[in-house]
Amino acid sequence: MKLATTYLGLKLSNPLIVGASPFCDNVKLACQLQDAGAGALVMRSLFEEQIDLEQRAMVRDIESATAAGGSEAASYFPEYSEYQLSLDRYLRQIQGLKALVKVPIIASLNGCRPGGWTDFARRFQDAGADAIELNLYNLATDPGISGAEVESDMLETVGNVVGAVHIPITVKISPFHASPVNFAMELEKAGAKGVVLFNRFYQPDFNLEDFEVHPQLKLSDSSELLLRLRWLANISPHLQGSLSATGGVHTSEDAIKALLAGAHTVQLVSVLLKHGPRYLYTLLQGMRKWMEEHGYESIDQLRGALNQHRCPDPSALERANYIRVLQSWRV
């Protein structure tokens, strides 16, 4: 049985990859993930704000540099020393991983506005990264900026990063685009070799005692996969490049569903934080068993089998299903 897949033009032994997270901060852990079967590893992100901060600090004293030039907004951001990996440390981490790990290493850049920081992609490439995942995490809250302007900035950012390197760029997006299929196609036109669905937005809660907003990071569960399945199935017939699923993959069946919807790779974070690196092996065993029981000999054979390729009007189908589900309830 062939679990091999191609992602961003890279040949992977199987589609399960470790998503952007602290796992790759530790080379020993990265080796354990590889030994348990990881097809590739995505490093944690380096942020636009962090790069800007360091670039400004080169001109001034690093300790006194603040994120947005001393404005109130600057105080929202971490101090330079609070970032887990400095820029230099990040580059050395890529080199360290490449020296000891055989599977592809995907570095991660996180930002959404065009700017000098996008050149940093070249330093990832020079340090040995096999590809770059560009995370466009952004919550547009400015009432004066339209969705079209937000997307136009994002596409320009992607074009700039793509133009800075020759390694493949994949783009991690949010589910909140008005027309996700069209946006994915625009990303491809801008030079992206892949799209990652979807960013999981951390959702702050109100504390009713101290009236503070509390940032919190809860791990996912399988229910979050459903949103990804819908859009993988709708986007995959329209892209030449690769698709990756991130968010809510916790079982072998979850991974199979993402592949059936059209993903080339399936990213894992929460499940590995819960169960540890060895769980990758268990998930791969489960996938092999499912494929054997259902007569599939390769990942290529099952990829996209449940996408919307044969559906003449997916929008009408989605709406029909929505109406049918609501009508099915009686009280």
Ligand X SMILES: Cc1cc2nc3c(=O)[nH]c(=O)nc-3n(C[C@H](O)[C@H](O)[C@H](O)COP(=O)(O)O)c2cc1C
DSSP for 73-130, please give it.
GGGGSPPGGGSSS-HHHHHHHHHHHHHH--S-EEEEEE--S-SGGGGHHHHHHHHT-S
Residues 131-190 that bind ligand X (CB under 6 A): 135, 172
Q: Can residue 21 be called a binding residue for ligand X (CB under 6 A)?
A: yes
Interface segment toward ligand X; rule CB under 6 A; list 15-23, 56-64, 232-240, 308-316: 15-23
> Which position among 138, 270, 307, 308 is part of the footprint of ligand X (CB under 6 A)?
270
Choose between 270 and 308: whose C-beta lies nearer to ligand X. 270
Beta strand extents in the chain (DSSP E only): 5-7, 10-12, 16-18, 40-47, 105-110, 131-135, 169-173, 194-197, 205-206, 213-214, 242-246, 265-268
- CA angle, residues 9, 17, 118, in degrees to nearest 5: 60
Note whether 252 binds ligand X by CB under 6 A.
no
DSSP state of 309: G
**Tokens, residue 102:** 């055989």
Nearest to 112 by CA among 42, 171, 192, 58: 171
Residue 34 in contact with ligand X, rule: CB under 6 A:
no
Residue 268 to residue 53: CA distance in whole angstroms: 30
Instruction: Pick from 180, 247, 262, 277 the residue near ligand X by CB under 6 A.
Output: 247
Which element (helix H / strand E) includes 283?
A: helix 279-293
Least distance to ligand X, CB of residue 80, Å:
17
Evaluate whether 164 touches 107 at the Cβ level (below 8 Å): no
In the complex, what is the shortest distance from the CB of residue 163 to ligand X, in angstroms, rounded to a whole number? 21
37 lies in the site for ligand X, by CB under 6 A: no
Tell me which stretch binds ligand X (CB under 6 A): 54-62, 178-186, 244-252, 296-304.
Answer: 244-252
Shortest gap between Cβ of 281 and ligand X (angstroms)? 17
- Name beta bridge partners: 199: none
Stretch that binds ligand X, among 16-24, 52-60, 115-123, 139-147 (CB under 6 A): 16-24
Per rule CB under 6 A, is residue 200 in the interface with ligand X? yes
3-state secondary structure of 135: strand
Closest by CA to 138, choosing from 167, 158, 164, is 158
Among 162, 173, 181, 268, contact with ligand X (rule: CB under 6 A): 268
With CB under 6 A as the contact rule, the residue among 5, 14, 34, 45 that binds ligand X is 45
For residue 94, the minimal CB distance to ligand X (Å) is 14
Cβ closest to ligand X, residue 184 vs residue 249: 249
Residue 143 DSSP class = T
Say whether residue 15 binds ligand X (CB under 6 A).
no
DSSP state of 191: T
Any contact of residue 248 with ligand X (CB under 6 A)?
yes
At 168 the three-state DSSP class reads coil
Of 280, 274, 267, the residue nearest 31 (C-alpha)? 280
Exactly one of 138, 157, 244, 246 binds ligand X (CB under 6 A); that residue is 246
Q: Which range of residues in 158-166, 186-194, 266-274, 322-330 is near ligand X by CB under 6 A? A: 266-274
Q: Of 78-107, which residues contact ligand X (CB under 6 A)?
A: none
Q: Does position 44 bind ligand X by CB under 6 A?
A: yes
**Shortest spacing between CB 86 and ligand X, in angstroms:** 15
Residues that bind ligand X (CB under 6 A): 19-22, 44-45, 108, 110, 135, 172, 200, 217, 220, 246-249, 268-271
